[in-house]
Structure 1
Amino acid sequence: MSLIFKSLHITLVVLLLSAVCGSFLVSARGNYPAGEIRHWQMRWETGPGDGGSKVPVREAEDWIDVEAKAEMPKKPAGVSAAWTKIALPSFNYTSPSVYIQTIYALHVKVYVENRLIFEGDRGFIKDNYSLLVPLDVRDNGKTVYIWTQTLQDRIGIKENVMLGEHSRLIKDYIKNGLIDVILGGAFIFVAAVLFVCSFFLNKEYFPVATSLSIVIASTGVLSVTYSPFTYTFYSYMGAISVFMFDVALLSLLPALTFLFENIFGGGKYGIIRKFRKFQMAYSSFCCVFLVINSLSGGRTLEFYYFISTNIVGIIMILQFILLIGCVIVFSLKRNKDAIIFACGFGTAALTGVLELTWYYLKRGNYDLFYWKWALVVFILSLIVILGRRLAQNHSQVVQYSRELELFNNELQRSEKMEIISELAASVAHEVRNPLQVTRGFLQLLSEKSSGEEQRYLFMALSELDRAASIITDFLTFAKPEFEQISLLHVNDEFMHIQSILLPLCHLNGGKMILEIEEDLWVKGNSSKFKQAMINIIKNSIESLGEEGTIHLLAYSRGDKVHIHIKDNGAGMEPGVLSRLGEPYFSSNKTKGTGLGLMVTFRIIEAMEGEIRFRSKKGAGTESITLLPRAEGPDGSNS
C-alpha cells in the first residue's frame, strides 16, 4: 500500500510540474507582441454571385492591391459584394487570432483557405463590424478570405488588420466602443435625474430643464446606439438600436433649438422660433416614415434613408450655422449666458460641421467620432447656464425676501407712527390749555408768596414747563409740516447750534469740531431743522466719556447734502441700533421718553430726506443725514 501511495504521490508531483512548466512554456511562446498586416487585396463580385459560398482560391485576376489606412477603393455601380484576401505571415502564437477593428458590410463570411470560420448577417442598416476571429496554429502562413456584402456605398476593411495572441487582442476587441456606452449611460442617468428635478422647479424654468434633459438623454442614446460595442456584443438588439438612434437624433435637433429659444428668445424676425417649428414638423414627418418602414419590413428603406440621413445632415449643418450666428450676436452684446453657450455650442457645432462635411466628402467612408466629446463640452455649458439661472433666481428670491422684510418693518413703523400721531394730535390740544391756565395761576401765586412756599411753586412751574415741552414734541411729531419754509444756509444753522450746545458739551468734558462746506443750502424750517440736529447732538453729548469729541461734517455729493454727526462715546449694540426712532424707545438714557429721535426722524422725513445710524459698542456712534440740495439765493448751488 505504501508503495502505491508513493507512486501516486510521485505521479501527482510530475503532473503538477508538467503543468507549471507547460504554462511557462506557453507564456514564453505566447509572449510575442501583436503584429500589423498593412497590405491585402480586394476583388469585386460582379453578377448575381453565389452568396460567398465559393472561395476564389485559384483565381488570380481582378485583384486590387489595398494599403492600410489609405483611401478605400470606390465601389462600382451595381456591385454589392466583394472579396478580401489577406496573406497571413508566419507566427509563433499559441492561440492566434485576427482582429479587424472596422470592416464595412452587412453580411460577412471569413474563410481560412476553404474552411469557414465565421459568418455574420445583419438584418438592419448598421454596416460597422468589429471582428475577432480565432485561428488555428496550423493556419500559419495561410490565406484568409473575407466575403462582404452591403446595400450601402462603402464596403471593405477600413484600418489595419492585427494578428496576435487571442488573450491580448480580445482586450482591444472589448474596449472598441465601450467608452461610448459608458459615456452614453452617464448622459442618460444625468438626464433622468434632471428630468425628475425639473418638476420641483417653477414654471419659468420647467421648459428649460425639460428640454435640456431631452438634449442630454438624446445625446446619451446616440452615443450608446452609435457605438460598435452595442452591435458587436448585442447584435440581437441591432434593429432596436438603429430605431432608437433615429428617434434620438430626430428628438435632439428640435429640442436643442427649443432650448436655445427659451434661453435667448426667438431671435430677430422670430427666425429661431420659425426654424424650431420647421424642425419639429420635419422630425415628426421622419418619425412617421420610421414607423412605416419598421412595420413594412424595410420596404421604404431607401426613401427613409434619404430623408433621415442626407436631408437631416444638411438641416443639422444649417442649424449649427444659424445658432452659431445668433450666439455671436448675443455675445457681442456681452450676454454672459451667450458667451458660455458660445464656448460649448461653438465647440460642438464646429466639430459637427467639420465631421459632417468630411463625411460627405468621403462619400460616407468615415465614422463620426469627435462629435460625442464635443457634445460633452456643450452639455457642460448648458448645465452651467441652467445653474447660473437657478442661482440668479435664488438671489432674486433672497433679495425679494429682504426687501419684503424691510417693507414689513417700515409698514409696522408707519402704523405705529400713524397711531401715535392721532393720539398726540387729540391729546396734546386737550392737555395744553389746562396746563397753560394752571401755569398762569401758579405764576401769580409765586409772585405773592415767599420762602419755602415760593420754592415749591417754582418747582411746580418747572415741571409744568417740562410737560409743555413734551406736549410740544408730541405736536411736532403729529404735525411735522412747516408753517414757514425758507432757504437754510447749513453753515449758519450749525454755527447757531454750536453756540447753543457748546457749553453743554464742555460741561460733559467733550469738545466739538465743525467742518462745514460753504454754500450748502437746503429747504426747510429753521427752528425744526435746529431741533432735529440738536436732538442728535444732545444724544452724542450724553454718551461722551472723558476727552470725548463730536465731529460735525457737512458736504455735497450730487444733488444731496450729507451731514455727519460722529462721536466717540459709548456706542450701541446692533439690537439697540435697529430700534432707534421707535416711539418711547430710549437707547442709553434712563429718564428719556424716546420722543427726541422720533421727532427728528419725522422732521427729516418731512424735509424729504433720510437719516441713518452707524454704531459699535465702545467705539461711538455716527448719524448720516441726507437732504435734497437747494439752489442758493443768487441762483447758484454747491
Structure 2
Amino acid sequence: MQLTLHFLFNLSLLIVLLFFGLIRAERTNNLRSVQMTAVAYFIISLLICHVFTYPLSDNILLDLRWTPIMIGGLYMGLGPLLGILTIFIRGFFGFDFGFFSTVIFYGGVTLLCWRISPWFIKRSSKQRILFSVGLTLLFGIFQSIPIEFINGPYLVLDVWLAYLIIQPLGVVMIAVIIEETDKTILLRQHVVKSKRLEAVEQMAAAISHEIRNPLTAANGFVQLLQVESMPKEKQVQYLSIIKSELKSADRIIQDYLTFSNPYIESMEQLNVHVELQDIINLLQPSADKNSVKIITTFSTIEMIEGDRQKFHQCFINIMKNSIESMPNGGILTVETESTPTNVIIRFQDTGIGMTREQLDRLGEPYYSTKGEMGTGLGITVAYSIIRAMKGTVYVDSTVGKGTMFEFTFLSSSSFNKGILENDKSVVTSI
C-alpha cells in the first residue's frame, strides 16, 4: 500500500496548492493575472509530482503527473507545454526505457488533450467532469497493464488502486473545485452586471428628473414672457429665474460629464482661500434662503496644485449639500489648516447628520441621502475629483448634530517637490 499512500500525499499537496492559487486569483480582477496564476499552478503541480515520484523499479517511476496534465491540457489547452516539461524533467532521471515510454505516451496524450480542448470547453460542467474521469480511467488502465507484465502480479493491487482510484479521485476533486469556482465567478460577474444596469437605470431616471424640473420651470416663464403687456420689472425677474434654472440643468450635465471623465488634464497653482471665498460668495444667496450662516476660519495663505474649474465644482457640491442638510437654518463652518506638507479643508455643518449606513455608502455612484429627490452625482463627482487631485477624504457625522467633511491635499511646495523627485528618479534610471 506504499504506492497508494504516496499518491494520497501527493494529491493532498496538489489540493493545497490549488487553494493557494484560488486565493491569489481571488485578489486580482485582472484576467491576464488570473491566467498566469493558473499556468503557474499547473507547472508547479507537475514539478511537485516529479519530485514525489515513487520508484517501482530501477527504470519505472510512478507519480500523479497525469492529473495536472489532464486538467491543464483540457481546461486551458496547456497540453504541449506540460508535455515538453514532463519529457524534459524525466530526462534528468536517465535515458532509459521509462524515458522513451514517457516521450511516446505523454507526448501523444498531451497533443490529444490540446486538440480536444476547444471541444471540451464547450461541454457542460457535468460532461467535462465525466469526460475527465473517463479519460483518466482509460489511460490509468493503459499505464497499469504494462507494469503488471514487467513487474509481476505481486504489485498489481497497489498499482491498480493508485491509478484507478487515487488518480481519478484527484482529477474529480480538482475538476469540481475549478468548475465551482468558475460558477462563482460567473455568478459574481452577473451580480456586478445587474448592479451596473440598475445603476444606469437609476442614473437615467434621476438625471432626467433633475433636468426636467428646471427646464419645465424655464419653459413656463418663457410662456409668461410672451404676454405683451407684462411690466419691464417682471420681465427682468422672469429672465433671471430662467437663467438660474438653466444653470441648474447645466450643473447636472457638468456633474455627469465629470463623473464620466474625472481626470485632470492641466494642473495650476490654486490659492485655497481665494477659491473658497469665490465659492462662498456664489452660494451665499442659497445660504441666506435657508437661513444658514457661513463662518470662515482661514489660516495662513495655502497653495495647492489642481484644476480651478473642478475644484469649484467639487466644493460647490459639498457646500450645497451641507446647506441643504439644514432646512431650518444653522451654521456652516469652513476652516483651513496647514502643515509642513499638507493643506486641510474642513466643512462642519449643524444639519440633520447621517447614519452609519449612509456614511458607508457615501460616494457610491447614484446613491443619494435625499432618496428620490437627488441623483447622488454631487458627492460622487466630488470624491472622484478629490482622488484625481491626489487628495483624501474623511467624513464624520452624528444624526441630529451635523456632518464634518475633511479634505487633505498636498501643499503646492510638497507637490512640486514630489514631481522633482520623480523627475530625478527618471533621469537616474535613464
TM range (shorter): 0.3 to 0.5
Which structure is richer in relative contact order (CA contacts within 8 A, separation 6 or more)? 2
Give the number of the structure whose residues are more often helix, by fraction. Answer: 2
Larger gyration radius, structure 1 or structure 2: 1
- Report the TM-score, using the length of structure 1 for normalisation: 0.29
Give the number of the structure whose residues are more often strand, by fraction. Answer: 1
- Report the TM-score, using the length of structure 2 for normalisation: 0.41
